Amino acid sequence: MNFNQNPCIRVTGCTIFTFILVLTLASCSKDETVRTKLDPPTDSCWSSLNREKLRELLPHGERVSSAIIPKKGFALPEKIYSSCIVYVDGFNAFTAAANLRRDKSAAEFEVPEDANRKPLQLGGDAEAWSWEGQAAAVYHCKIPPHKIRNIPHRKPYKYVTLRVFTYTPDKGNKHRAPLVSLLKEFKDFTDKQLECVK
């Protein structure tokens, strides 16, 4: 049988091909529509960070959510650790964390040798660095007595360490600027919460 001479076979073949092509295009269109840049929740990170800058650091996805640890407001100085996490499709996409420390050497982050050690203008005596996917700072903070009156074990803690980082792959070091900007905002927020005495 000559398939080329049979109009039914030719029409059926064209119909099947067209149907498959439509399904493929519809699937691609759906993926492009669903997996987009997401806006972080308005209450992300104690509502302290610029959402547009934060959005730049998030990957494409379908769902976005956030959490804080411990599950309350900003926990310092009642606790020595407080952090926020932004999730995309259930995976950690961004974290901001603050710690109280007894001295500078107790900072929990280890700055790699190839980190950008150019001064970051965060204000005060803060020492700050940025490297691949991260930015961090350590600075002295004298917490006023009324903030620690009922938690005497906090008195030895004289330094604050801050860290912001993303797990989203960075092409062309585009994440450095928003990370540094968010680190500065995070410091301003932390200073206000702790009422650091100049």
Question: Is 147 or 35 the better-scoring residue by pLDDT?
Answer: 147
Residue 26 banded pLDDT, cuts 50, 70, 90? very low
| Mean per-residue pLDDT of the chain | 79
Residue 188 gets the label, from left (phi > 0), alpha (psi -120 to 50) or beta, of alpha
The whole-number pLDDT of residue 126 equals 85
Contacts 24+ apart (CB under 8 A), 109-112: 109/134, 109/136, 109/161, 109/163, 111/136
26 and 59 fall within a common domain = no
127 and 93 fall within a common domain = yes
Of the chain, the percentage scoring pLDDT greater than 90 comes to 41
The whole-number pLDDT of residue 87 equals 96
174 and 115 fall within a common domain = yes
Of the chain, the percentage scoring pLDDT greater than 70 comes to 72
Alpha-carbon distance of 10 to 151, in angstroms, equals: 83
Residue 174 banded pLDDT, cuts 50, 70, 90? confident
Q: Any idea which of 39-43, 49-53, 153-157 has the lowest mean pLDDT? A: 153-157
Domain count, the chain: 2
44 and 90 fall within a common domain = yes
67 and 165 fall within a common domain = yes
Domain extent for 24: 3-33
Alpha-carbon distance of 51 to 57, in angstroms, equals: 10
87-136 pLDDT per residue, tens: 999 999 999 999 998 887 756 566 666 666 565 777 778 888 888 888 89
Task: Phi first, then psi: give them for residue 8, nearest 5 degrees.
Answer: -65, -45
Helix (H, G, I), strand (E, B) or coil at 4: helix
160 and 115 fall within a common domain = yes
13 and 76 fall within a common domain = no
Helix (H, G, I), strand (E, B) or coil at 111: coil
Question: Is 77 or 35 the better-scoring residue by pLDDT?
Answer: 77
Task: Phi first, then psi: give them for residue 99, nearest 5 degrees.
Answer: -130, 145
CA angle 188, 137, 155 (to 5 degrees): 75
Whether the CB-CB separation of 117 and 172 falls below 8 Å is answered with: no
24 and 103 fall within a common domain = no
14 and 100 fall within a common domain = no
The whole-number pLDDT of residue 20 equals 44
45 and 130 fall within a common domain = yes
Alpha-carbon distance of 198 to 184, in angstroms, equals: 17
94 and 146 fall within a common domain = yes
- The residue among 93, 81, 90, 91 whose CA lies nearest residue 54 is 93
Question: Is 138 or 12 the better-scoring residue by pLDDT?
Answer: 138
107 and 133 fall within a common domain = yes
Given a cut of 90, is residue 66 above it in pLDDT? yes
